Structure 1
Amino acid sequence: MNAFRKNIPDKTFAKLNNNGDFTRLAVSPGIINKHYSPAQFQTIAKVVGETGAIKYSASYSIILSIPTVDVTDATKELQDAGLYVAKQGSSVAMKACDFCDGDKMEAAPITEQLYHSLEGLTVPTRLRLNVNGCASACYNAVYDDIGLVYQKDSFDVYLGAVPMGPNAQAGTLFAKRVGVEHIEDFLKQIIELYKEHARPNEPFYKFYRRTNSEDYWEMLKSKTIKTGV
């Protein structure tokens, strides 16, 4: 019965901010790793203390609500424990599957390369890029703004998923078998189109569904085919 007995938490982010200034941090063991150590959980508990709150997220992370005055020190302490603290604001945010707990690591090197190249780039509003390391796509890459599904030496690229609401649906296949040697540049071009043509604060899925008949999308796909991606 504990699974249902307490449905209304005492410390939501909104309730905390009624009595002070709090900041949310999204924390995980890494982009690929999904396993926390006991010591990392102890650090999380210490950082949050009695004043903050901890919440599980559907985005492969734990959300911490921490007094804003403590954020700098808390972030350093979390990072020193080997935890990844996601960047905030209107930027590219990377997600990835666990590559079958390390049994299928073929796409891991290119995923790390994409992280260093794309994570944190400024965009009109937060853009979620999800990389899945095999065709099973069990971490639901096709349900994020840009979904990459790895298939031997290449990625299928999905765009424009509607993440929630009555019209929620998966993204559509935009380009098939984009080679690993071209995927970084390909994604940068998609991001540049978003930055150049989106309306202020327009989510990526709204932008893509509004513009997907524009010539620049077809030009991007045509260039992909011509270069033999």
Structure 2
Amino acid sequence: MNAFRSNTPDRTFEKLNTNGNFTRLAVSPGIINKHYTPAQFQKIAEVVGDSGAIKYSASYSILLSVPTINVNEIINELQEAGLYIAKQGPIVAIKACDFCDGDKMEAAEITEHLYEALHEETVPSRLRLNINGCASACYNAVYDDIGLVYQKDSFDVYLGAVPMGANAKAGTLFAKRVSVQKIESFLQQIIRHYQKHARPNEPFHKFYRRTNSAEFWQALKPSLISAFGVVSF
């Protein structure tokens, strides 16, 4: 019965801010690593204390509600414990699978490179780029704004998923077998189109659905065939 003992939380982020000033932090062991250590959990409990709150998230992270007055000190403590804190706001946010707990690491190096090149770039609305390290795509890359599925030194690229709601659906296969050497430039062009042509605060899936027949997408495809070695669309 513990699964249904308390269905209404009494320490939500909104409730805490009714009588205080709290900041929410999205914490994880890293982009690929999904395993916390006992010491990291102890540090999380310590910094949250009795005044804050801890919430499980569906985005591969744990959400911490901590007093805003201490947030910089808390961030430093969490980072010293080896934890990664995701930035918030309208940026390119990169997620990845666990690469079969490290057994299939072929795409790990390019994932790190893409993170360094693209993460936190400002866009009209938060854009989720999800990288999965094999064709199983068990971390649901095809259900994020841009999904990359690694296959033999290349990526299949999916665009425009609707991640939730009554009309939820997977993204569309936009490009197949984009080489590892060309994937960064390929993604940068997609992001530039979004930055240039999207409406203010327009989510990527709405932007892509509205513009997928626009000339700039059509002009991108032929250039990809010659410049990126794309097999098909």
TM range (shorter): over 0.9
Distance apart, 1:24 and its partner CA = 0.8
How many residue pairs get matched?
A: 229
User: How large is the Cα RMSD of the aligned pairs?
Assistant: 0.7
Distance in 1 of aligned mates of 2:221 and 2:75: 41
Q: Deviations over 1:145-178 (max 9, x none)?
A: 0000000100000000001111011111011000
Structure 2 residue aligned with 1:13: 13
Distance in 2 of aligned mates of 1:49 and 1:127: 32
Q: Deviations over 1:66-124 (max 9, x none)?
A: 11111111111100000000011110101000000000000000000000001100011
SS at match of 2:115: helix
Distance apart, 1:4 and its partner CA = 1.0
Q: Which amino acid aligns with 1:73?
A: E
SS at match of 1:78: helix
Q: Which amino acid aligns with 1:52?
A: G
Distance apart, 1:37 and its partner CA = 0.1
Structure 1 residue aligned with 2:202: 202
Distance in 2 of aligned mates of 1:15 and 1:41: 24
TM-score, with normalisation over the residues of structure 2? 0.97
Distance apart, 1:215 and its partner CA = 1.1
Distance apart, 1:10 and its partner CA = 1.1
Q: Percent identity?
A: 76
SS at match of 2:188: helix
Distance in 2 of aligned mates of 1:221 and 1:54: 45
User: Aligned ranges for residues 96-175 of structure 1 at < 5 Å?
Assistant: 96-175=96-175
The answer for unaligned runs of 5 or more in structure 2 is none
SS at match of 1:31: coil
The answer for unaligned runs of 5 or more in structure 1 is none
SS at match of 1:64: strand
1:73 maps onto 2:63 in alignment: no
1:58 maps onto 2:58 in alignment: yes
